[in-house]
Chains A and B, each alone.
Chain A
């Protein structure tokens, strides 16, 4: 199994990252705080004002370690990448497939809805009996309707727009009952509806932050597999948008990010006090909250799961790469479809 290499997340403002021999070293106020051998690194993600030395940038580029720069709020700003690893034949196949993408989109949408539904089913199984009857009924109802949508996605010879429609319908059902999955007593952590840019409540701030981390990993996975992260199938091309990374991410949002957000909140590792409320109404994770989430995220990536198609155990952190690889093998003609990752 390919090694799960580390991602270093740097959140302390004013840190300086430099190269020392074959190591990345992080200094804060002139004192060394962390040291990681470069050969154990896949990427570096820096939040806010962090200094990075040219020698480190060069060493990372040479070794295929990507550096992503985020602003304080976790929004993507820039990415430093070495020489393209991409395979021009694969990319050509990807562009060609993008014009005839129904079946790839079908796989992505199937995986996404099935995994969202699995989050609901799992909650019903784990504490369905403790729930108020109306909540339980609503969850069951949503799961049933999502099952019907899945059958429709599976059987119909649908256009991409109709597949996108099904995906949206399922997402509405899912986020419509999402509040019933939250068991924290904090009133501030209740769910109303999805808000993105900017997130307007705590749960949305938490989800947005986790989605940023997942996007980063999916984007790296595309690059590593030789795919162009900008040309998607489910997501329409738009300048500056990593559409393929977002496509890959769809199946993984619910089991990797949503579930993690729910368990952080339900186990009270994240509480209302871990968020900052801005004058504009935007809500952001506090520094402390961000650290809690990053630690949990890195732990989550180490957890092993059976990969349903490859039938071998793989850590969660490698799933984006494995999926990108399966997509690449499909595009190169090895297999007749893209096998989605079903969370079971």
Chain B
């Protein structure tokens, strides 16, 4: 289904991929149901992006640096903006090198890498030149972590994009993640209410009625 052109469909925002890796339901709640919990972390993220968002081109160490570069992939129906893309001159033409700013520190799951890899897939489609690696810059450690776009990461990214695209098509919010620890760290937990999902309400209602009528 990846090869189909989604001319009629709204493109999927690149930022939805990182949410989808973490939890497909989270991605649906944010990007389809438009629920969003402002919290401390998202505010911090906004400040970070305000710095990266200044836009324009600067030259450093032989590379052309472009801030806030719009990206898209027709094949994967993705669209978004890269924080920073560096272009290095090579005999084959300019090779692009995406750099994404992240709050906090490197994580155990691969959400950030998938989002970055999706940028690389967009860049490859747009420039026609292979993008072998990129980097994540973490605010808390102030370090660049180099991310090679190997086959495993590419396959994972394509898989997540396909899952997300199915959710967008169905417009149906999927079940909560089975990783309970992710829910505990999720800023959407009070809007998502994972503990109530598929709870039998009718049975509960009958029990409550027995309770209020029985305890006299």
Q: How far is the CA of A183 from the CA of B166 in the complex (A)?
A: 62
Which of the residues B33, B204, B212 comes within 8 Å of A118, measured between beta carbons? B212
Q: Which residues of A contact B32 (CB under 8 A)?
A: 89
| 5 nearest A-B pairs in the assembled complex, by CB-CB distance | A337-B201, A337-B202, A339-B201, A335-B201, A334-B197
Q: Which residues of A contact B209 (CB under 8 A)?
A: 110, 114, 150-151, 154
Chain A residues with Cβ under 8 A from B195's Cβ?
Answer: 310
Shortest distance between the CB of B53 and any CB in chain A (Å):
20
9 residue pairs A–B, Cβ–Cβ below 8 Å:
A114-B209, A114-B212, A118-B212, A121-B216, A154-B209, A333-B173, A334-B193, A335-B199, A337-B202
In the bound complex, CA of A101 to CA of B35 (Å):
25
- Residue ranges of B at the interface with A (Cβ–Cβ < 8 Å): 32-35, 171-173, 190-191, 193, 195-202, 204-206, 208-209, 211-213, 216
One of B34, B197, B198, B212 near A87 (C-beta < 8 A): B34
| Band of interface residues on A | 35 or more
Please, how many angstroms separate the alpha-carbon atoms of A239 and B215 in the complex? 42
Contacts A154-B206, A309-B204, A339-B201 given; indicate if A332 touches B33 (C-beta within 8 A): yes
Binding site for B on A (CB under 8 A): 1-2, 85, 87, 89-90, 103, 107, 110, 114, 117-118, 121, 147, 150-151, 154, 226, 308-310, 325-326, 329-330, 332-340, 342, 344
Is B33 within 8 A of A90, CB to CB?
Answer: yes
* B188 smallest CB distance to A (angstroms): 12
Shortest beta-carbon distance, B122 to chain A, in Å? Answer: 27
Asked if A336 meets B172 with Cβ closer than 8 Å, knowing A118-B212, A121-B216, A344-B212, the reply is no
Interface pair B196/A340, CB less than 8 Å apart:
no
Which residue of the partner chain, among A325, A336, A338, A342, contacts B208 with CB atoms under 8 Å? A342
A334 to B199 Cα, complex, angstroms: 8
> A147 contacts which chain B residues (CB < 8 A)?
213
**Which residue in B193, B208, B213 is a CB contact (below 8 Å) of A329?**
B193
CB of A120 to closest CB in B, whole Å: 12
- In Å, the complex CA distance between A118 and B209 comes to 12
B212 touches A329 (CB 8 A): no
Contact present for B33 and A337 (CB under 8 Å): no
Partner of A107, one of B171, B191, B205: B205
Additional A-B contact list (18), CB under 8 Å, known A118-B212, A151-B213:
A1-B190, A85-B34, A87-B33, A87-B34, A87-B35, A89-B171, A110-B205, A114-B209, A309-B201, A329-B196, A334-B173, A334-B197, A334-B198, A335-B199, A335-B201, A337-B205, A339-B204, A342-B212
> What's the Cα separation between A336 and B203 when bound, in Å?
10
Q: Are A325 and B205 closer than 8 Å at their CB atoms?
A: no
List residues of chain A with CB within 8 A of the CB of B173.
332-334
- Closest CB in chain B relative to A167 CB, distance in Å: 15
